[in-house]
Each structure stands twice: as structure tokens, then as C-alpha cells.
Amino acid sequence: MTQEFVEPRKKEVTASNEVSLLQHLITESENEASQGFDTKSALEIARIINHEDAKVAGAVKKSLGEIAQVIDQVARSLRDGGRLIYVGAGSSGRIAALDASECPPTYSTVPGQVQYIMAGGPKALASAVEVNEDSEELGQRDIARRRPTRKDVVIGVSASGRTPYVVAATAYARARGAFAAAVTCNHGTPLEAAADIAIIAEVGPEVVSGSTRMKASTAQKMILNMITTGAMTRMGYVYENLMVNVHMQNSKLVERGIRVLMSACNIDRAKAVETIKCAGRSVPVALVMLKAKVDKPEAVRRLAKSDGNVRLAIEDSGITF
């Protein structure tokens, strides 16, 4: 039995209007550089994609001012006990989920400090549940469950900038006092209007028209990397350019912690291992102990006083660098 196709119902725009809107989105337009793409050799395909990918960093560069503002806002919010909550759908949601899930092992963030909400829920990470993207009600419901407040930062991520789920969730959070940011690849979109600030990386048409898992998602990944890396660095979870707040829960991360201490303090491996053990397997505590020449209790006290900012904890001793 053939299932009848039912066009998704839109609350704010008619079907014909929707088509018109899509046609005017640069992320949905055709790319002249990839004309005849299906007739190309493997090497030609790779060259075309690589040529288009080279445009992404330049597009992101144009929004560095806005990215910096969001970095500082996220750092302030997390320092004050707030949260960073990403909202996304489809490829954009998966990119957001990846960034959120990598913060705990990289920076030892506490559970719930950096979160994601995705249309279709966690199962949408591995399976397409794209129909949920069209639901404003689900977007509002899912963000409402997180009870956003003025302490929080909510970032809506959508290549098109018009995904109803993401727009509705972002607008809801902003109405409840949260600082709302948009990450998109088109200008003049509903998501931009729903946010306090918009980060727009206009990467242009995709090699495969409308396949925003390509350049658009690459741009979004770069931007989210900047936001969380920048915020964690501003909070003092990076010392020099070293990942000092690493969570040592497996052999690779233990080895990374040892190498960080060796590099930061110019010591041998044996000394690094001994100090990490004395510090209760905490790289920040070990680093403060060595740099400030203090014992573990004093290092812990300084880190508590500085809200985990390693450099401030070290400099409390008067040592200059």
C-alpha cells in the first residue's frame, strides 16, 4: 500500500512562500563550480570539494567580532553558575552535540554545564528524524524542560537559519532572559531575528546543492570550537596553550596530563608522574604545586579562590612570568 505524501504544515508561511524562501537561501542555491559534478573523476571530485572547502575559514573570519562577544558571554555565564545550551537539528544539531560532548573530557566541565538539545532527541544523532525540525511546539517544549534563565547562554545552530524547531527554542530561551545567539550561514533569517547576536558564516552554495553537512557544517564546527575553546581559556582552564584541565580517565588522557606537566614545568617524566600522584591525579593542582612551590592543600585553596583559573592560582604567589 502506497503511503500518501502529506506536505508538512507550516504555521507562519504558506507552501508556495516556503519554496520562494528556500530558493533565496544561498545555502540552497546551485554552485557553478560543481556543474557536471556527476561526470567527474574521483580526483576531480576531490579537487572541487577541496577548492570549495578552502572558502570556509575566510567566511568564518568575517564574524570574528561576534564570535568574540559570544566567547566572553559564555565564559561569564559559566563562571556565574550558568549553562551553555546548544539547540540544533539535523547536521547542525549533530555538530552541536559533538562540541558539547567533548567539553567534559577536554576541560573537566561538570555535568550539565555544556548541553545540547536536538530535534528528535539523542536517537537523531545516528538516525534521521528530520520531521521534528518543522515543529515549533517541540522546540519550545524541549528548551522549556531545561528551564533557561538569565544566567544561561542558548545558541541556536541552523545552516538555513529558518529551522522552526531551532528558531522557536531560541526565541523561547531569550524571552526567559537567557542570552541567545545564532550560528547560521544565511543573512536576514528568522533565527537571526530571534537572537541577541548572530554569527553568520556565508560559505556560499554547496558542491552538492543544499547538502549543508558540507561547507556549512564545517563552518559551524569551526565556530563552535572557537566558542567553547575560547570560553574555557578565558576561564583559566588552559595554561599558555596547554590543556591543563584535562580529565584523566583513560590511558591516553593520563599520558596527555603527564606531558602537559612536563612541558609547562620543564621537568622529567618521573617528577611529573610523582607530582600528579601527590596532587590526587589533578593536573591543575599539580601545576600550581610546582609553579608556586606550594603543597597540595595550598594549591587546592588557590584554585578554589580563583574559580579554577590556573594562572590566577599560580600568580597568587607573586611569581611573574
Q: How many other C-beta atoms can be found within 10 angstroms of the C-beta atom of residue 273?
A: 17
Say which residues have a Cβ less than 8 Å from residue 50's Cβ, sequence separation at least 6: none
| Complete DSSP assignment for 17-78 | HHHHHHHT-GGGSPPGGGTTGGGS-HHHHHHHHHHHHTTHHHHHHTTHHHHHHHHHHHHHHH
Q: Is 44 an annotated catalytic residue?
A: no
**What is the layout of strands, in order, in the sheet containing 84-88?**
114-118, 84-88, 153-157, 179-184, 197-200
- Among 66, 102, 202, 298, the one annotated catalytic: 102
Q: Looking at 7, 12, 130, 133, which residue is catalytic?
A: 133
Residue 286: helix, strand or coil by DSSP? helix
Residues 6 or more apart in contact with residue 287 via CB below 8 angstroms: 239, 244, 260, 261, 264, 265, 310, 314
DSSP element (H, E) containing 69: helix 64-79
Task: Give dist(CA 251, CA 253) in Å, integer.
Answer: 6
Query: How far apart are alpha carbons 167 and 195 in whole angstroms?
Result: 9
Length of the chain: 321
Classified as helix, coil or strand, 44 is: helix
Judge whether 151 and 73 are in contact, CB under 8 Å: no
| 102 annotated active-site | yes
SS3 14: coil
Residues annotated as catalytic (active site), given as ranges: 102, 133
